Amino acid sequence: MATGRTHRPATRSRGIPEATVARLPLYLRALTALSERSVPTVSSEELAAAAGVNSAKLRKDFSYLGSYGTRGVGYDVEYLVYQISRELGLTQDWPVVIVGIGNLGAALANYGGFASRGFRVAALIDADPAMAGKPVAGIPVQHTDELEKIIKDNGVSIGVIATPAGAAQQVCDRLVAAGVTSILNFAPTVLTVPDGVDVRKVDLSIELQILAFHEQRKAGEETAAGDGALPAATRDTSTDQGPDGDVPAVMPA
């Protein structure tokens, strides 16, 4: 996972595989684009290309939803859009709160993709009293003290954490205690939550490090012939020149 993964091992549900669920939004996006161009039907081959996946995989994914295609023709675009939306729960309205209105939180609040599908920013919450009342993306920021009340009054079940790492767990605990059962975490920390609560994390730094790994591998391949030779005999440990004094823990904000 670009994305990280914090799932319970496996749900007993006779439902859709997790890997498939993760791709449905991709299909939905491609289908929506087709719908806007008034394309009536699409083949698995075409749609797969648009979504950047394998056509066999796409067909198998759709087979978990039911037999919604017509052999010799393809899939009805409008119908599929509806079916996938329904499966993902996007036919209902999901009020969402964003906690931590720093640079990132503001960017999220302004993000158009939120409102476009089922998601509605119910409130923006920040711990800084100076922020209170200040409008961001047209929504006034509220103080953390109001958190529990906001969650309950609006029936919020999805929370987005964009606070510094140090505050994340505490915010998380309060969100969960107030009734939130799904959390999208942007803070670079491992969140601990009770069973029944889903956490997904988005971690900039991790994604970059993964890219760096591959980048290094590419560079190593073309230049050096053999570097895999020297293991780690010399324990030159702490003497490394790494970015020593780097205090992590601080997020945008």
Identify residues 48-107 at the interface with DNA (CB under 7 A). 53-57, 59-60, 62-63, 67-75
Residue with tokens 């964003």: 98
CB 110 within 8 A of CB 83: no
Residue numbers in the known binding site for NAD(+) are 100-105
Nearer to DNA, 48 or 98 (CB): 48
Q: What angle do CA 182, 57, 201 make, to 5 degrees?
A: 25
The answer to whether residue 123 forms part of the interface with DNA (CB under 7 A) is no
Nearer to a second copy, 145 or 179 (CB): 179
Please report how close the Cβ of residue 105 comes to DNA at its closest, in angstroms: 30
Nearer to a second copy, 112 or 194 (CB): 112
Residue with tokens 């670009």: 2
The answer to whether residue 247 forms part of the interface with DNA (CB under 7 A) is no
**Alpha-carbon distances, residue 230 vs 215, 219, 237, 241 (angstroms):** 20, 18, 15, 19
DSSP codes joined into one string, 58-75: HHHHHHHH---EETTTEE
Q: Which secondary structure element, helix H or strand E, spans residue 133, and what is its range?
A: none
CB 27 within 8 A of CB 61: yes
The answer to whether residue 200 forms part of the interface with DNA (CB under 7 A) is no
The answer to whether residue 126 forms part of the interface with a second copy (CB under 8 A) is no
- End-to-end CA distance of the chain, in Å? 24
What does 226 interact with, of DNA, a second copy, none (CB < 5 to 8 A by kind)? none
Residues 15-34 that bind DNA (CB under 7 A): 17-20
The answer to whether residue 55 forms part of the interface with a second copy (CB under 8 A) is no
- Contact code string over 77-96 relative to a second copy, x by CB under 8 A: -xx-xxx-xxxxxxxx-x-x
The answer to whether residue 231 forms part of the interface with DNA (CB under 7 A) is no
The answer to whether residue 186 forms part of the interface with DNA (CB under 7 A) is no
How many positions of this chain bind a second copy (CB under 8 A)? 109
Nearer to DNA, 41 or 154 (CB): 41
The answer to whether residue 246 forms part of the interface with a second copy (CB under 8 A) is yes
Q: With CA atoms as reference, report the closest residue to 203 among 137, 155, 248, 146.
A: 248
Q: Could you give the CA distance from residue 131 to residue 125 in angstroms, rounded to a whole number? A: 9
Rounded to the nearest 5°, which phi and psi values hold at 67? -95, 90
The answer to whether residue 250 forms part of the interface with DNA (CB under 7 A) is no
What does 57 interact with, of DNA, a second copy, none (CB < 5 to 8 A by kind)? DNA
